[in-house]
Amino acid sequence: MSFNPEQKVKLGQLITEGMQVMHEVEALNEGLSDTVKAIAEELDIKPGVLKKAIRVAHKADFGRNRDDFDQLETILETVGRTL
């Protein structure tokens, strides 16, 4: 595979910009994790629960998650393993 000069420039720009975006996302995720941990500690909630709440709210799929949880609850009750 070979690229002409214009394609090389585009690829170079894409890689550079992509790396910058990935660094920014990483920094934002670290900041969010720190905030989640602090608030979780303050409210005595597991950080994973808060992170899941954020993901569900972001994806707006609470109904699907509730359906999955309802099915899980039914299965566990059926086999005598209540929550």
Write the pLDDT tens digit of every residue in 3-45: 999 999 999 999 999 999 999 999 999 999 999 999 999 999 9
Cα 58 from chain centre: 9
Rg (CA), the chain: 22
Q: Are 76 and 82 in contact (CB under 8 A)?
A: yes
The pTM (predicted TM-score) of the whole model is 0.66
Cα 46 to Cα 1, 71, 79: the distances in Å are 50, 23, 27
57 and 71 Cβ atoms separated by less than 8 Å: no
Question: In the prediction, which pLDDT does 83 show?
Answer: 58
76 residue type, one letter? L
Map tokens 């709210």 to a residue. Answer: 57
